[in-house]
Amino acid sequence: MYMVLFATSVFILMGFIYWATAGYMSSQTDETIEAEIIGLAEQYQRQGLNGLISVIRERVSRDPQGKAIYLFTARDFIKLAGNIDKWPEGGDVQDGWLNFTLNDELGWHTDLSRPARARVFIVPGGLRLLVGRDVNEFMAVKELVERAINLGMAITFGLAMLGGIMMSRSTARRVELINQTSQRIIKGNVSLRIPDRGTNDDFDQLARNLNEMLDRIFHLMEGVRHVSDNIAHDLRTPLTRLRNKLEKTMLSVERDEDREQVASAVAEADQLLATFNALLRIARLEGGGRTSNFSDFNLSELVLDAAELYEALAEDKQQTLSIKVKTNIFIYGDKDLLFQTLSNLIDNAIKYTPEGGDIELYLSSNGKDLELTVADSGIGIPEEERAKVFDRFYRVAKSRSQPGNGLGLSLVQAVVELHDGEIRLADNEPGLKIQISLLGKVLDVSELSQSKEAAA
């Protein structure tokens, strides 16, 4: 856009200069011819025909270079006076002006053809007077100006392209720097700030505003995090003591009904403790924590271990657990967090799939990107609610009868984002399909397929 605007403005400017220069030179030539015609007409009125012929011959003799062109002819175009021998034919006539070429056919005194411009004046009695000028110098200057404009436009276009590329690259670099820093902040490195160059331009002002906004957000997040930690520490300790006391009470209670009630209270306390632990874990993950535990490990073995752990639970519900895992897929990440993520997904699939249903677990790779899929034939999630299930404590209406606190998928999303991955929900027709995309590396192309069916 900069190149087009700059080149267009220069083109308009040069076009105006050309129009003004060429127009001025052309009008000067026409005025000179008109002045000579007026002078010859006055001489004719004073001295008659012979006087006009004498004046023409005198002017021709004073102009050996032939800058001025004269031809005075009779009715039959026979030459009476002038410095060309024949009336020009085939010239371009516009508004009484005749544009033609001086050459040997007209009796021109040189071998070179030259452009000329003249005007015709009819003398009383049918005589014709042609008065003109050799415009070769004018045309040469005009061509010179045209070449200069064309060359200037080429240079202008090149400079405009160079300037446009430099401006675009400079702007793109600044914008890309802001984008890259923003992406790293989004992924959890909230301590980063957008650098500025100290030029006090618009980008520096934008960077300072964004950094001030990030500082404010970071301050608020730290405040919330401290409050959450304080709540967790203040409540977890008495909850743990309460749970321990309930366990001791349960051992001393004799009646079965009372013992069941105390056991139910212990389970509720465990659920509360699990909720607090999950909230704190999510907060740490979203704050960019736990990256110090990253290492290379075999994800294929991890998936098989998680599937083996839940195989018995699937058998209890007469569910089919199908596993298809490509072997020796290694990934750089937190092994414990990814195992917990797999456990949450498989546990949800078993929980929300009816008896006799199917559960599928896939791990595939194309050499660089890998995809982990957990699919079931359960109740599924409506499409309009799929974006909401990652919110904390959100639960789909038809799953509220099942035990849980609505933090499982929130924790899964936090772990996936910590590993720079992406999680997607899709319809399995029936059921739900959860797909997780991560970056990994495959050391062996062999594939391990297992199909395990549990039946009561």
Full DSSP string of 174-207: HHHHHHHHHHHHHTT-TT------SS-SHHHHHH
Q: In this predicted structure, what is the pLDDT of residue 225?
A: 67
pLDDT band at 430 (very low <50, low <70, confident <90, very high): confident
Residue 285 one-letter amino acid? L
Give which of 407, 377, 384 is closest to 394, Cα–Cα. 407
Taking residues 31-41, report their average pLDDT. Answer: 84
Strand, coil or helix: 317? coil
Look at 245 and 125; give whichever has higher pLDDT: 245
**Which residue ranges does the chain devote to CATH 3.30.565.10?**
292-453
Strand, coil or helix: 133? strand
Taking residues 248-271, report their average pLDDT. Answer: 80
Give which of 184, 413, 411, 189 is closest to 287, Cα–Cα. 189
What is the pairing mode between strands 127-134 and 114-123?
A: antiparallel
CATH topology of domain 2-140: Beta-Lactamase (3.30.450)
**Which residue ranges does the chain devote to CATH 1.10.287?**
202-286
Question: Could you tell me which CATH number the domain at 292-453 has?
Answer: 3.30.565.10
Least confident of 273-282, 325-334, 446-455: 446-455
The Cα angle at residue 193 between residues 190 and 196, in degrees rounded to 5? 170
The predicted-structure confidence for 208-234, as pLDDT tens digits, reads as follows 898 899 888 888 877 776 776 677 667
Look at 399 and 230; give whichever has higher pLDDT: 230
Q: In this predicted structure, what is the pLDDT of residue 417?
A: 82
CA distance linking residue 440 with residue 452, whole number of Å: 26
pLDDT at residue 423 is higher than 70: yes
The predicted-structure confidence for 6-17, as pLDDT tens digits, reads as follows 778 888 888 888
pTM: 0.47
**Which residue ranges does the chain devote to CATH 3.30.450?**
2-140
* CA distances for 229 relative to 221, 358, 359, 405, 437, angstroms: 12, 41, 38, 19, 32
What six digits make up the tokens of 299? 């994800």
Question: Could you tell me which CATH number the domain at 202-286 has?
Answer: 1.10.287
Least confident of 64-68, 206-210, 418-422: 64-68
SS3 of 80-128: the string is EEECCCCCCCCCEEECCEEEEEECHHHCCCCCCCEEEEEEEEEECCCEE
What stretches of 296-380 show up as alpha helix (H) in DSSP?
299-309, 311-316, 335-351
Give which of 140, 105, 116 is closest to 68, Cα–Cα. 116
* CA distances for 318 relative to 306, 374, 432, angstroms: 18, 18, 19
Q: In this predicted structure, what is the pLDDT of residue 456?
A: 34
Q: In this predicted structure, what is the pLDDT of residue 398?
A: 56
